[in-house]
A and B are shown apart, each in its own frame.
Chain A
Amino acid sequence: MKKYIDQGKNDTRSGFGAGLAELGRTNPNVVALCADLVGSLKMEKFIEENPERFFQIGIAEANMMGIAAGLTIGGKIPFTGTFANFSTGRVYDQIRQSIAYSDKNVKICASHAGVTLGEDGATHQILEDLGLMKMLPGMTVINTCDYNQTKAATIAIAEHHGPVYLRFGRPKVANFTPVDQKFEIGKAVVLNEGSDVTIVATGHLVWEALIAAENLEKQGISAEVINIHTIKPLDGEAVLKSVKKTGCIVTAEEHNYLGGLGESISGFLATTHPTPQEFVATKDTFGESGTPEQLMDKYGLNNKAIVNAVVNVLKRK
């Protein structure tokens, strides 16, 4: 079993900020927009180096999405930045009509996703955004797991023509993916090979899945761990290859089980290779105030919950 080392805890949003700053230096067409959350999105470096290519919109997310759509007309590649909640549900129709249906090359970059923004509570958390975005035809949906991967994904999506939803978070988490790993949209990453169960995780749950796999190994259970950073288009082949070997699957995500990664995988497997599956996800509920760790524990979104789900799914093989 491969051992992954935490290179030092960092927040995924800082990975976005670093990726955006690099794009500022390498791609003159990249422009950035923010709705009064520059510090939270870590956009300062890009702004400092490219003031003319930054648009401070104010607290007006609907206007921001429309302006981003318009900036593409003229060849710009706009990156919008605000919290995940205000990047999706608040502006769903603007994204739907002006960006997705109009096939505009806008990158919707969303921080503070899930419950791990913590103390601000359910008004600022969102557990529905992956579902909202994946249902839009033509939208690419990405949820990165650590600093390095978020930086790499930020850089990669500038090269992809079409609307993208890039989801990341607030808390400092383990940074374990290789610093030079190229980000391939739609390509799952097998982190550990195993034979008894497949664990597919996305976002902050990937590190938890690795810890769970270590703990399972101690119990004599061999878990294959796959990092699915791209929810849409889904790398069905990678999932299929794994479950044909293991015969069961656990999906793990910081999102409602309705509309999330697990739902996409169950839909895919139902039509290709029906497989027992357990969901590590929130159970159709809003979040609440608390520390990120408390919330992940209370809502069953950590390595313990993954181990429990594995135990349950193995009984159903």
Chain B
Amino acid sequence: MPKLQELQDLTVQVRRDILRMVHKVNSGHPGGSLGCTEFIVALYNEIMELKDGFDMDGKDEDLFFLSNGHISPVFYSVLARKGYFPVDELNTFRLIDSRLQGHPTTHEGLPGVRIASGSLGQGMSVALGAAQAKKLNKDSNIVYTLHGDGELQEGQNWEAIMYAAGKKVDNLIATIDFNGQQIDGATNDVLPMGDLRKKFEAFGWDVVDIKEGNDLEAVIKGMKEAKSRTGKGRPVCVLLHTIMGHGVDFMMYTHAWHGKAPNDEQLATALGQNPATLGDY
């Protein structure tokens, strides 16, 4: 295990990357990216079994599908700092001719990405297919996904949730970024979704809560617990309680920074709260 401090440093650096990426092009989605930083960092550097390099089939390694593709900044930063592509390429986020499209895509051949996402609600179905391909291939690795909580308003998720349990796809861990926010406001105001734990349980899933989704140790512990529950006939859901905009005080506890970039002054303040650790790109 990399030392916890190294991963803590990485989360701070990833936050800087996120802020600088969206600031440069004055667009993108910092709120959810900041909220999921601990999760994506832990997943790629502590939880997932990964091969060196990248190939589309991903046999004999764990796979991750980002269903809420708008939090591409955190995904790109973690992939780059894991070595999938040069960290300098983060400079091209959302620019013309870039492999780092606004939402992740395989179209430009960016290593680390296996499916396009952005139009919401599709990632779990794709993960189910990949998980079942693993079973056919006698590949014992696991498929991970991340979804927004608001994203669960898309009906296709519930087709997939029903299927996963009904067909015992137990090599899947689907994580819900449970931050209670979406573009137009709090999920409870936009469309209350009731008790998500009970909903998943009613569909036949095993549910793990990670109450402190922005505490790296808690995330690692919770994901290891989730992993221990795979292979037992039920798909596993992680309810990851996060704070949108975490790590930048004025971006927290609001949906305002869902899809808005900071201005120069706001960027300086935000970076001041996250002093460089590994070096900026």
Contacts and interface: CB of A to CB of B under 8 A. Distances in A.
B107 A78 contact: no
A62 B161 CA distance: 13
Interface of B: 56-59, 63, 65, 105-107, 114-119, 122-134, 136-137, 139, 155-156, 159-160, 162-163, 166-167
Interface in A56-81: 57-58, 60, 62-76, 78
Contacts of A78: 129
B132 A53 contact: no
Contact of A57 (B56, B136, B137, B163): B163
Give the interface residue-count category, chain A. 20 to 34
Contact of B116 (A60, A62, A75, A101): A101
Interface in A122-152: none
A170 to B, nearest CB: 26
Contact of A70 (B106, B117, B118, B129): B129
Nearest to A52: B136
Contact of B59 (A53, A67, A75): A75
A71 B114 CA distance: 12
Interface of A: 31, 52-53, 55, 57-58, 60, 62-76, 78, 93-94, 96-98, 101-104
A94 B125 CA distance: 10
Contacts of A94: 122, 125, 156
A98 B137 contact: no
Contacts of B63: 73
Given A57-B163, A93-B119, A62 B58 contact: no
B128 A74 contact: no
Contacts of B137: 74-75
A63 B163 contact: yes
B128 A63 contact: yes
A72 B105 CA distance: 16
Nearest to B131: A70
B163 A71 contact: no
Contact of B114 (A64, A73, A75, A97): A73
A73 B134 CA distance: 9
Contacts of A60: 159, 162-163
Contact of A71 (B56, B106, B133): B133
A138 to B, nearest CB: 9
Contacts of A69: 115, 125-126, 129
Across the A-B interface, give the 4 residue pairs with the lowest CB-CB distance, nearest first: A70-B129, A66-B125, A74-B133, A63-B159
